[in-house]
Amino acid sequence: MLGWSKPVKPDLEMSEVWNAFLAKGIAHPQIIVVGDAILDCYLQGESKSRFESPVPIVTVNDRKQIPGGAADTAFYLKSIGCQVIFLSVIGEDWEGHLLRQTLEESGITTSYLLTHTLRQTLTRQRIMLGSQLLVRTDSGSTDAIDSCTEQALINQLKNCFAQCQAVIVCDYGYGIVTQRLKDSLAQLQHSFPHVLIIHEKIIHEKITEVEAQKPLSSAHSPFLFSNKHISNSDELLALVNSDGIAGRKIVFTNGCFDILHAGHVSYLQRAKALGDILIIGVNSDNSIRRLKGPTRPINTLEDRIQVLAALDCVDYLIAFEEDSPSKLIGKLCPDIYVKGGDYTKETLPETPVVEEYGGVIEFLPFVENRSTTKIIKRILQGKN
């Protein structure tokens, strides 16, 4: 089965980029994606191994090709409504043809995709037996592109740069993003400052892969995006109503999350399981002081958001200054509002606003003997 549609998974940093453009009234920003294009192949089958066979024998009954690497980033941006210019180099081979086909079927133009007769298209092939991955094979050219191809890629970048609103560089170390290309991008960025994100994967001795994200140069980087933190409710509303998220079940909860512990993690994981997108309203420092007293919070809002953002179950975070997030809930109208089991509908301040727009309220029990207050008490007892 060729041209399989990859399920859209929210890429949080990319969503933040698009969200920022929505806030400025740019519904379909034009974004350049440049980097290593990879074809991801999945061979799904069933075992036909005989007793005497020393290795598994898999009869393939399904074959899927999806964009990988920089092509995956282009695919995601296209799925959330961006206009994508995809710049890369592939081989003049069957794998390159399949990659072009999958991109075109996703609505991404391949007119900017360069072909080199001496390169092999980067391909990752996985053989699956049911849900079990048996083996993955990697193939394709990983040496740096030659100077002529490099110049052609730089020329395309220069021709497209002024008309776009953002540039995403996906460098996996497979020879497409050369130093000359980076230098050219820095010069362009100096003349026409854009939103710029660079993803780099550095491979140490072909054993340990370390993911890194960094701006090309602090002097040329006009933005800093945190991955999951949305700065205001208008931007968050635009995001939840976007094509990429509309129709998904939105779950909202809120709290101080001053010292994150196992009870918090369990609670948030169970909240996420109720829907598709989990949004957390985080009390500001001033809000916590009013609710908990002058000695709280222990951790600042910035620190609390950074820790919460590290949880896989959390999709978006937004701070609020009020004692209750009722105003925020009334604006976002989440499908499900989640609170801890120590509340009831009668004692929950947010009940009226949720019931007014027809939302659902769910109460989740807390993990026993897990609370920030108890942790603080144990710390103080230890000091004494």
What is the structure's pLDDT at 205? 30
What is the structure's pLDDT at 317? 92
**CA-to-CA distance for 282 and 305, rounded, in angstroms?**
8
What is the full per-residue pLDDT of the chain (384 aa) written as tens digits? 223 333 334 344 555 666 666 666 677 888 999 999 999 998 888 876 555 556 777 888 888 888 999 999 898 888 888 889 999 999 999 999 999 999 999 899 999 999 999 999 999 998 887 767 788 899 999 999 999 999 999 999 998 888 888 899 999 889 999 999 999 998 888 877 777 787 765 433 332 232 333 333 333 333 333 458 887 888 788 778 765 576 789 999 999 998 888 888 999 999 999 999 999 999 999 999 999 899 889 888 988 998 998 898 998 999 999 999 999 999 999 999 999 888 899 999 999 999 999 999 999 987 666 666 667 676 767 755
What is the structure's pLDDT at 46? 81
Q: How far does CA 187 lie from the centroid of its chain?
A: 28
**CA-to-CA distance for 190 and 370, rounded, in angstroms?**
51
Among candidates 359, 367, 353, which has minimal Cα distance to 268?
Answer: 367
**CA-to-CA distance for 299 and 289, rounded, in angstroms?**
12
* Residues with Cβ within 8 Å of residue 112, at least 6 apart in sequence: 85, 86, 87, 156, 160
The answer to whether the beta carbons of residues 336 and 274 sit under 8 Å apart is yes
The answer to whether the beta carbons of residues 90 and 142 sit under 8 Å apart is no
Q: Which residue blocks in the chain are alpha helix, DSSP H?
A: 12-23, 70-79, 94-105, 147-161, 179-191, 233-240, 262-272, 285-292, 301-309, 326-332, 351-357, 372-383
Domain architecture of the chain: domains with CATH? 12-220 (3.40.1190.20), 233-383 (3.40.50.620)
Other C-beta atoms within 10 Å of 203: how many?
13
**Local structure of 267: helix, strand or coil:** helix
pTM of the model: 0.51
Sheet with 113-116, strands from edge to edge, namely 113-116, 83-91, 30-35, 166-171, 195-204, 208-213
